[in-house]
Amino acid sequence: MITDPQVLYKLMILYLLRQANLPISNEQISEFFLSKEYTNYMTLQQAISELLDAHLIKASTVRGKQRYEITREGEESLGFFGNDISDPIKNDIHAYLKENRIRLRNEMGITADYRKMSGTGGPDFEVDCEIREGKLLLMKLTLSVPNEEQARIISGRWQSASQEVYSTVMHTLLQDE
């Protein structure tokens, strides 16, 4: 039985990330913990920071938003200590993920980011658009555009247009001649 709340919070974060099976933002983790009143924001951020330092989770940044996923080491730790998370807490995590799965997937599974290219002699900006299902990359589209305004527009519209683009590409590539 876990007596240190900070250890429990870390295990809960690991369990949440494993069950989500996709990168989750700091805001989404915070939403779960704070809505269920498990802990306060500062304590939660300390737990996330300690998990990062211990390499039990990893962070990546897309469009200024930090996304977290569990590492192999985190999976192993959860395998050893995951049974110390009570069933009511696990049920809360499952309910949160079930209620928010589509929103979480859309927020973190459909991403677009752009960057300025240097010294290419061609287009000045490159836009990377992705669709992920869990950890599986379904589609990655990289577009070169001449200016930042077009890069920003494409990045902004990818969230709403991605499903149509994906469907069109799949239909075109799989249709019989």
Does an H or E element contain 36, and which? none
pLDDT at residue 159 in the model: 80
Is 30:42 a contact under the CB 8 Å cutoff?
no
Domain boundaries, the chain: 5-107, 109-174
pLDDT at residue 28 in the model: 87
Write the CA distances from 99 to 24, 92, 126, 144, 152, integer angstroms.
15, 10, 35, 37, 31
- Alpha-carbon span 4 to 44, nearest angstrom: 14
List the beta bridge partners of residue 113.
128
Sign of CA dihedral 32, 36, 41, 44: negative
pLDDT at residue 92 in the model: 94
pLDDT at residue 130 in the model: 87
Look at residues 66, 69, 83, 79 and name the one whose alpha carbon lies nearest to residue 1: 83
pLDDT at residue 74 in the model: 94
Q: Collect all residues with Cβ–Cβ distance below 8 Å to 59 and sequence separation of at least 6.
A: 52, 66, 67, 68
Write the CA distances from 63 to 24, 32, 107, 146, 161, integer angstroms.
14, 22, 12, 19, 18
Using N-to-C axis directions, what is the helix angle for 26-35 and 5-20, rounded to 10°? 120
In terms of CATH architecture, what is 5-107?
A: Orthogonal Bundle (1.10)
- Alpha-carbon span 20 to 105, nearest angstrom: 9
**pTM across the whole model:** 0.66
Q: Residue 153 CA to chain centroid, in angstroms?
A: 22
* Residuewise pLDDT in 10s, the chain (177 residues): 677 888 999 999 999 999 988 788 888 899 999 999 999 999 999 999 999 999 999 998 765 678 899 999 999 999 888 888 999 999 999 999 888 876 666 666 788 888 888 765 666 899 999 887 766 788 999 999 999 999 999 988 988 888 889 888 988 898 876
pLDDT at residue 163 in the model: 83
Which stretches of the chain are DSSP H helices? 5-20, 26-35, 41-53, 72-81, 87-109, 148-174
Residue 27: Cβ within 10 Å count = 10
pLDDT at residue 43 in the model: 93
